[in-house]
Structure 1
Amino acid sequence: MSDRTDTGGIPADAPRESIGVGPAYPSSHTQFTSDAPGRYAAAPAPEAAAPDASAEGSGGSTTADEPYYAPSAEQTVADGVRDVGMIFVGASLTAGYGDPKGLGWVGRVVARTQHPDLDLTAYNLGVRGNTSGDVVARWGAECHPRWKGRTERRLVLNVGINDVVTGMTMARSRLNLANVLDEATNAGIGVFVVGLTPTLDDDLNRRIEALAEAQADVCSRRGITYVDCFRPLVTHDQWMADLAASPDRAHPGQAGYGLIAWLVLHNGWNDWLSLS
């Protein structure tokens, strides 16, 4: 008997249309469609990104303006079998905390990213309680040694809920994300951003949604894919039920992590990896 909750309601043995993309959800769930990634889909790379004037006055001041974006390097994809180092950086959701199967969304995404042309080495660097400031401080020191010897470097970010919980200003949170994105892309590292997820607290959700929109804007200015997880999940019964059933009522179980993985895989993942 197949496990129908391991991938968010998708049978584990269900056929796949292509590498890294799972089948559509059953009709009993909200339909997440791959051709409609939602409000926060990444925009094409801008010809010249303007300075972010909205950083100040959008939740508090910071000591520096959000940087002007002028990339100095581009992500390149080699022909043939590609030696890819992929690192996931974030907090407890990235670490997969609360998943009884120990996979989280990261393990599920990696499992569906196997490809004959991809020699993939993946690392999960999720740390419980991390804010975007923590990620700024550690990502370079922790990631670069793991990329040593790899010809293609990939970074997946999922951070921000702890910014809201700890009262970090919107401006500082935007700046932190922008700094990581700019440092990485200027070094020729391919970046993919997975968005914030809703909670059971309506007031907290309003603040999370505002930060999700801000993160989406930061990514859009840089032509970086931002996967909207908030809007599809805030009205998704299975997600909310999974949170309500969890011991801390804050982290999902295997069904909820399967839902996040589904959204990632269906919203630009294969395009980002140049997989067909």
Structure 2
Amino acid sequence: MSDRSDRGDTAETHPDAPREPYGVGPAYPSSHTRFTTDNPGRYAAAATPEPTAPAAPAASSDAPEPAAPAADPYYAPSAEFTVADGIRDVGMIFVGASMTAGYGDPKGLGWVGRVVARTQHPDIDLTAYNLGVRGNTSADVVARWGAECHPRWKGRSERRLVLSVGTGDVTSGMTMARSRLNLANVLDEATNAGIGVFVVGLTPTLDAEMNRKIEALAEAQADVCSRRGITYVDCYRPLATHDQWMADLAASPDRAHPGQAGYGLIAWLVLHNGWNDWLSLS
């Protein structure tokens, strides 16, 4: 595990503040940790991507595993992404696994529903789709994202893709190198097609051993995004020590997916870590 001395704190505690309702959007129980963006640390995306060689094609399912994380493809310069003037016709698609689908939320919103609810803007005509599939790994996303997303973008003048995947990679035993490669291939294919991409990171569990693997993969995903100048939201570090997140997991039937409060926390992190900048919203 890499040294954490350069990360900085990402949260502060307000034990005596009054309690606020959860609901849709960034409302939290103030007796628990509040998140800040004062010091994003090493997870912040690079300002400009390094020019490198074109991306390698995705490996077939029967191809040997890459030998090391360095095997993920180099970044290929993406097609120029522009934002039109006036009312923008935006097609936004969320692709991932059970967390993206909002499994376990009694409100049926998940973090995606809460983020979409807070993204309504007079300059945007937004069409949003949630394509989260329980049990998906990054390999599953590589196989299906193009076929499922492109028909939904048809007729939209601005295409946006939000990715959140990786816990299934850990539970299935996928190598770090393969997981990096899968994420990198989706990012490169999308950006080269002129699609704006945003990545939401992994969340912690109640299992310490699994968390060590998730944290390592979260850092790898952050690195893949940083090399491409793509916004990556770190969900692992802020939630790993958050009382409400851990309590929500412990109270859930499967002890793996959060409830209403936990999904609200993820939504807050997304909305307060580059979301409006990514969408060019003032």
Moved more, 191-200 or 43-52: 43-52
Pairwise CA distance, 1:61: 4.0
The equivalent of 1:202 in structure 2 is 208
Match of 2:76 among 54, 70, 73: 70
Pairwise CA distance, 1:182: 0.0
Check whether the contact 2:20–2:29 (CA below 8 A) recurs between aligned residues.
Answer: no
Structure 1: which amino acid aligns with 2:218? A
Structure 1 segment 158-237 matched on structure 2, within 5 A: 158-237=164-243
Check whether the contact 1:9–1:26 (CA below 8 A) recurs between aligned residues.
Answer: no
Match of 2:32 among 29, 32, 50: 29
| Structure 1 residue 4 corresponds to structure 2 residue 21 | yes
Match of 2:273 among 249, 267, 270: 267
User: Can you give the 5+ residue segments of structure 1 that lack an aligned partner in the other structure?
Assistant: 11-24, 53-59
Pairwise CA distance, 1:235: 0.1
Residues 180-236 of structure 1 show CA distances to partners (whole Å, capped at 9, x for unaligned) of 000000000000000000000000000000000000000000000100000000000
RMSD in angstroms over aligned alpha carbons? 2.1
Match of 1:42 among 42, 45, 61: 45
Give the TM-score normalised by structure 2: 0.86
Structure 1 counterpart SS, 2:38: coil
Residues 102-149 of structure 1 show CA distances to partners (whole Å, capped at 9, x for unaligned) of 000000000000000000000000000000000000000000000000
Check whether the contact 2:159–2:196 (CA below 8 A) recurs between aligned residues.
Answer: yes
Pairwise CA distance, 1:33: 1.2
Q: How many residues align?
A: 254
Quote the Cα distance in structure 2 between the aligned partners of 1:225 and 1:173: 18
* Higher RCO structure (Cα 8 Å, ≥6 apart): 1
Residues 156-194 of structure 1 show CA distances to partners (whole Å, capped at 9, x for unaligned) of 000000000000000000000000000000000000000
Quote the Cα distance in structure 1 between the aligned partners of 2:281 and 2:107: 28
Quote the Cα distance in structure 2 between the aligned partners of 1:42 and 1:89: 20
The equivalent of 2:10 in structure 1 is none
Quote the Cα distance in structure 1 between the aligned partners of 2:103 and 2:150: 25
Structure 1: which amino acid aligns with 2:250? A
Structure 2: which amino acid aligns with 1:223? G
Match of 1:118 among 107, 111, 124: 124
Structure 2: which amino acid aligns with 1:40? Y
Quote the Cα distance in structure 2 between the aligned partners of 1:237 and 1:162: 24
Check whether the contact 1:8–1:257 (CA below 8 A) recurs between aligned residues.
Answer: no
Structure 2: which amino acid aligns with 1:5? Y
Match of 1:153 among 152, 155, 159: 159
Residues 158 and 216 (structure 1), Cα distance of their counterparts in 2 relative to 1, 3 Å cut = same
Moved more, 64-73 or 103-112: 64-73
User: Can you give the 5+ residue segments of structure 2 that lack an aligned partner in the other structure?
Assistant: 1-18, 56-63
Pairwise CA distance, 1:39: 3.5
Pairwise CA distance, 1:7: 4.1
The equivalent of 2:250 in structure 1 is 244
Structure 2: which amino acid aligns with 1:45? T
Structure 2 counterpart SS, 1:239: helix
